[in-house]
Chains A and B, each alone.
Chain A
Amino acid sequence: MAHIKLLNEELPGIVGLLNYRPETARPLLDLAETLLRGPSSLTSGEREIIAASVSYWNQCHFCHTSHAAAAAAHLGSGIGLIDDIKAGLPNTPVSDKLRALLHIAHQVQKNGKNVTEEDISVARELGATDQELHDTVLIAAAFCMYNRYVDGLGTWAPGPNEAYTAMGERMAHVGYGKN
């Protein structure tokens, strides 16, 4: 049970919190929609993999599993991707550029100052643009927020990966804050 009395205790993870406080829900949803589904030269599948990886490193089960399921829905890869993200994507064909961006995301997850000039040069040599570097840093930073919000208020989350399939499809193909 969550640390505070939510209006609807059946809603899992961030969903119950967004329903509890609409004043902050709107910008939180708009940010997720822009970061993960807005125009970008990174695909939505790639951006959801960054979001899910950061959530895994932050040990946020709800955010990791739901965003990994959204990545799987974008990529048509099947929900084996959820566990593959935990393992560092050994069985998923991702570009070297995305691997370099994931390294930057991991640095941001620890602290913004951990991102070095060298991390940036390596990603650039593999083809990352300024806007891709920007969006990677902001997605990683934003999930350091969403993850802490979800866990800091003690929300509940479904356990098994299969419970997230429909949610991931909806996040990928309908969007955030869309009916």
Chain B
Amino acid sequence: MPHINLNNEYPGIRSLFIYRPETAAPMNALVQAMLHNPHPSLSAGERELIATYVSRLNTCKYCCNIHGAIAKHQLGNNGAIVEEVLQNPDTAPISSKMKALLKIAAKVQSGGKNVLPEDIELARADGASDIDIHDAVLIAAAFCMYNRYVDGLATWQPDDADLYDKMGEQRAREGYLTPPFKVAASLQ
């Protein structure tokens, strides 16, 4: 049960967004800008993989499952890539640039100061631009917020894989700014 009375039956961060719309607006605008809006050199699927991977490192079930589902839909319905990245980014079928950016993301997750000049050099050598590096750091940092928000208030985090897939399909198609669909109370 959530630590506070949220007065709604939505899962994860959606229950918090409905509870406190004043802070939901900038948080949704941020995730839309980072993950969904057009980007010069990282696809939406690649950016969602960074969000999914960091959420797994922070052990946030809801964020890892929902962003994993969004990544899958952004990557042409390819859930295998998502699973392989979560198992081991080094052996996953992704670009060497993405592997270097995921290394930087993992360093950010453990503490911003852990990112070293050599991590940046490695990413640059694999073709990462300054915008790519900036965005990988900010996505990783932002999911250290979203994950703590969702877990810190003990929100409802369903186990139903089909539900995440359906919610993920909606977000991949519509972005983050549309209302969530009603989740059947029977799923609780």
Residues on A close to B: CB < 8 A?
3-5, 17, 20-21, 23-24, 26-28, 30-31, 34-35, 38-39, 58-60, 104, 107-109, 111-113, 115, 117, 120, 130-131, 133-135, 137-138, 140-142, 144-154
Contact = CB atoms under 8 A, between A and B. Distances in A.
Contacts of A115: 3, 151-154
Contacts of B80: none
A137 B148 contact: yes
Contacts of B108: 148, 152
Interface of B: 3-5, 16, 19-20, 22-23, 25-27, 29-30, 33-34, 37, 58-60, 104, 107-109, 111-113, 115, 117, 120, 130-131, 133-135, 137-138, 140-142, 144-154
Interface of B is mostly: helix
Interface of A is mostly: helix
Contacts of A153: 112, 115, 133-134, 137
A145 B111 contact: no
Given A3-B120, A133-B4, A149-B112, A111 B30 contact: no
A120 B144 CA distance: 21
28 contacts: A3-B120, A4-B130, A4-B133, A4-B134, A21-B134, A21-B135, A23-B37, A24-B30, A27-B26, A38-B22, A59-B113, A108-B152, A111-B58, A111-B148, A112-B58, A115-B3, A115-B153, A117-B3, A120-B4, A131-B4, A135-B20, A138-B23, A141-B147, A145-B144, A146-B141, A148-B140, A152-B108, A152-B115
B88 to A, nearest CB: 22
Nearest to B137: A152
Given A27-B27, A28-B30, A120-B3, A111 B153 contact: no
A140 B144 CA distance: 10
A163 to B, nearest CB: 20
Contact of B20 (A23, A104, A134): A134
3 closest A-B pairs by beta carbon, nearest first, are A112-B151, A151-B112, A112-B152
A131 B20 CA distance: 9
Nearest to B128: A4
Nearest to A119: B3
A102 to B, nearest CB: 14
Contacts of A23: 33, 37
A107 B154 CA distance: 13
